[in-house]
Structure 1
Amino acid sequence: MSTMVFVNFPVKDVAAATDFYEKLGFKKNEEFSTEQTSSMVWDDNFWIMLLDYSFYQLFIKDRTIADTTTQSGALIAFSLNSAEEVKNFGKIAEENGGTVYKVDMGIPEEQMYGLEVLDLDGNALEPTWMQI
C-alpha cells in the first residue's frame, strides 16, 4: 500500500482557503469536510486539510499557531509533471491572492524547476518538476 500524506494548515477563513485551493486544482472531499475544515485532495496520496484556527488548536495543545505571514512553519514540496505545470500552478496562485517567488538554485530549468507558493494565510507549498 502506498503511503498517504495529509498536510494540515491553519487558516483564518475556511471558505476562502477552500476556494483558493480549488482554483489550484485540488478537489474538496465533502465526506471529510465540515464548517471548520476542508479536506482538499490533489491525488490518491496527497491531501491538504484546511483547519480553522480553533480546530487546528486542538491538535497542538498549548502551543501557539505560527503567524505564517511572518514566520515559516514548513515548506511542503510536491512534484508536478513539467516545468510548465509548475509555472501554471504559480500563475493561478498569484491570480487568486497567493504569493509566488522563485529561489535560484543554479540548476538549469531543463533539469529542475520549482516555485515557492504562499497561500492566503502564508502556508508554503513548493510545486517542483525534476527530470528523472
Structure 2
Amino acid sequence: MTRMIFVNLPVANLAASRRFYEALGFTNNPLFSDDTAACMVWSESINVMLLTHAKWRTFTTRPIAPSTSSEVMLAVSCDSREAVDAMNAAAAANGGTADINPMQDLGFMYNRNVADPDGHIWEAVWMNPTAISAGEHKAPAE
C-alpha cells in the first residue's frame, strides 16, 4: 500500500478556503468532505484536510495559532517555473498572500511561498531534474 499524508489545517471559513485550494490546483474529495471539513487532494498520496475551528477542536485542545505566526511551511513540487508562478498568482487572486517570503532562484531550484487565507504557508517549488542528476545542486566546496 502506498503511504499517504493527510495534512490537517484549521480554517476560519471553510468555503473560502476550499475555493482558495481549488484555485491552486487541489481537487475536492467529496467522500471525506462535509460542512465541517473538506478533503483537498494534491496527488495520489498528498491530501489536505481543511477543518472548521469547531471540528479542529474535536482533535486537540491546543490553541489554534494566529494567522500571523508560523507553525510549519509545507512544500509541494510543481512541474515547471511557470507552474510555481501560476500558483503564486492564484494565491494572490483568491484570498491568499503571494510571496509571503522572498522568492528563491538557485538555477536548479525555484520557489515562491504563499500563505492561504488563514496564514498557513505553502512553498511551491520546481527543481531541474537534469541539474540534480548532474550534481549541479551541491554547494561549492570551500
What is the CA–CA distance in structure 2 between the aligned matches of 1:71 and 1:112, rounded to whole Å?
Answer: 26
1:113 and 2:124 matched: no
Which residue of structure 2 aligns with residue 10 of structure 1?
A: 10
The partner residue of 1:85 within 83, 86, 110 is 83
Aligned-pair identity in percent equals 38
Aligned to 2:120: 123
The residue type paired with residue 122 of structure 1 is G
Query: In the TM superposition, what whole-angstrom CA distance separates every residue of 1:20-39 from its partner, at most 9, and x where no partner exists?
Result: 11111111111100100000
CA distance in 2 between partners of 1:18 and 1:105 (Å): 27
Separation (CA, whole Å) in 2 of partners of 1:87 and 1:5: 25
Q: Secondary structure at the match of 2:18?
A: helix
CA distance in 2, matches of 1:95, 1:36: 24
Distance 2:18 2:106 in 1: 33
Q: Give structure 2 stretches of 5+ with no counterpart.
A: 130-142
Deviation at 1:103, TM superposition (A): 2.6
Secondary structure at the aligned position of 2:98 is classed as strand
Note the 1:92-103 alignment, pairs <5 A.
92-101=90-99, 102-103=101-102
CA–CA separation in structure 2 for the residues paired with 1:81 and 1:104: 17
Q: How far apart, CA to CA, are the structure 1 residues paired with 2:57 and 2:72?
A: 17
Which has the greater radius of gyration?
Answer: 2
- Structure 1 runs not aligned, ≥5 long: none
- Cα distance in 2 between the residues matched to 1:104 and 1:18: 25
Aligned pair count reads 128
Aligned residue number for residue 56 of structure 2: 56
* TM-score (norm. length: structure 1): 0.90
Asked whether the equivalents of residues 17 and 50 of structure 2 are also in contact (C-alpha less than 8 Å), the reply is yes
